[in-house]
Structure 1
């Protein structure tokens, strides 16, 4: 029987990497170019890389979520989510366009055997095969990381809970464009949706019992 806390046991837990892509993280990405401060994402990614490496060492599945947008999924409702423009006057999409540099991963790289789930909205569960992937892997608990803490990461985490998974936010491996927004999301998750942990805590747990990866 595992001595690890249930929701962090590699035997049934997956690490979810949300939207660690150039347009969301790189200073020259589309969000950086329109004035968003990407420095927290830039600083976060090395910590995330270390956590990914440790997860792989103990056999914990790593699942990459990648946002992609183009004319096949840019509905008027999506493009007008920030405005009251009438249909036909939508603002153009600028992030993670199909085939663009902006849509490529930033500082992380999936291994050939790791799952990449393509998403089109904030939540990684909406219109994707994520739930099928998790069910096939026998996953019961999800550790959420990535960008942005208060948007796609939190949206995905909430839907993970609603899909009946145990959910946790790895707070130092998630980032957004202001510390205030990040902190508010962390508080909201801890209060209403799941647990909040750090990468150091997880690493210390996993490295103390690496044999559990084969359970």
Structure 2
């Protein structure tokens, strides 16, 4: 039988991470939004995050990939990263959410994670650039998705067999390692495709 979501132990560590990730992600989105506004006001300006042909923001911001929905992608971050901050602070304040709320939160993070994976692929294999503020977003999105997904699985919020719930509970403590392994995969892909080390040294 699935546990009563309202009676499960409060995930304090997860809540703290949600607040930290939300603040970092929101700041990255805000910084990118300001860079985009700056470039719109002065097309000849150089973005402060443009360090080289390889490491820059401008190419990403001005590409169609940088405005998939008809407006700059960072605006999605400005709106979206508020959710983890609010959820994390609410949990720390003692709030307990209904199952449907966690489902919606997990669905939103799944879409964000999928979008980030797509952006990583576009950045490395199509645009051939590494956007600093974009990478900050990648860094916080990946472990946030892992942590929330494992939480909803281990608590039974998402229906799953007992073995899956136990595995999720075990893996919860390994989220930092899972994130580092994910970063390593991205780094290897970037090195193979863009020769990052060769451009730096």
Normalised to the residue count of structure 1, the TM-score between the two structures is 0.28
- Greater fraction of residues in strand: 1
Q: Which has the larger radius of gyration?
A: 2
- Greater fraction of residues in helix: 2
